[in-house]
Structure 1
Amino acid sequence: MTGVETRSVARDSLFLLADIRVEQSSDTYRVRVRNLSDGGMMGEGQMRVQRGHRLTIELRNIGAVKGTVAWIQDNRFGIAFDEEIDSQQARRPLQAPEDPAAVAARPSWAHRAPPPPQPSKLRKI
């Protein structure tokens, strides 16, 4: 690569993990995502892919994304997505699905304890 930036799409450098499955295979590989843009990503891992392989990538907060291997260099590879994604969404904290039990356990401030009685209205026993 040269020192001149020729890419037209901004990329975010980040470190997150993704699961990748090569089409026509049932094997899933865990890889590191080194940079991510709306149109593609650079992955790093010990999986064997070839240029042109079709992949399904499971990205955090985004879900399954389909793409094609665009380049390979050592254990790094570039993937061009079939459709653009919102790459900023992968940077956000994980969104846990709403658990009905967790909703029931949240404190409710709608019901408050009654105020303490006035000492003058108490009677001694």
Structure 2
Amino acid sequence: MNDLLKIDNPATAKRGNNRDSLLLKAVLRFNGVVDDREVRIRNLSAGGLMAEAPMRVARGEPVEIHLRSIGWISGHVAWVTDGRIGIAFDHPINPKDARKPVGNGDLEMPDYLKKLNNPAAPGKMRRV
């Protein structure tokens, strides 16, 4: 029954992509504008996103958005309403990549943490 509701729901049918709810900061860039703007992403899919962006923009305006662990993505403003905007990407992305940790996961533990975590050093504090 839920599948029928999804098909009959025009909003879902129009999107065509599952949205992943999250709260993530990103940088939004408009063509011809020098200053980049920080926005908060509220949901993300392979084909687009919804962001809190209290700014005046026109529907159809080309944009680029920088998502951590993904990089710059080109797209256009799909809709605008009450401090939020929808952006449709020019090319699909893997939205799960936005949740990956930033940086190299193989980094060595910093010295100050090694000292705290050293079981061979009696009487020293250690992390548990």
- For the criterion TM > 0.5, the same-fold answer is yes
How far residue 50 of structure 1 moved from its aligned partner, in angstroms, is: 1.0
- Residue of structure 2 aligned with 1:74, choices 70, 79, 82: 82
Contact 1:55 1:68 in 2 (8 A): yes
Contact 1:29 1:47 in 2 (8 A): no
- Secondary structure of the 1:50 match is coil
- Residue of structure 2 aligned with 1:57, choices 62, 65, 68: 65
CA distance in 1, matches of 2:59, 2:73: 17
Same amino acid, percent of matched pairs: 44
Map residues 15-34 of structure 1 onto 2, 5 A cutoff.
15-34=23-42
Q: Please, which runs of 5 or more residues in structure 2 have no aligned partner?
A: 1-8, 115-128
CA distance in 2, matches of 1:98, 1:81: 31
Higher helix share: 2
Q: Please, which runs of 5 or more residues in structure 1 have no aligned partner?
A: 108-125
Other-structure match for 2:20:
12
Listed one character per residue, the Cα deviations across residues 68-125 of structure 1 (whole Å, up to 9, x for unaligned) are 00001110010000001111000111124988xx6xx8x9xxxxxxxxxxxxxxxxxx
Quick check: 1:48 aligned with 2:77?
A: no
Aligned length: 102
Map residues 81-100 of structure 1 onto 2, 5 A cutoff.
81-96=89-104
How far residue 26 of structure 1 moved from its aligned partner, in angstroms, is: 1.0
Which protein shows a greater Rg?
1
- TM-score, scaled to structure 1: 0.72
CA distance in 1, matches of 2:27, 2:104: 18
Counterpart residue type for residue 82 of structure 2: D
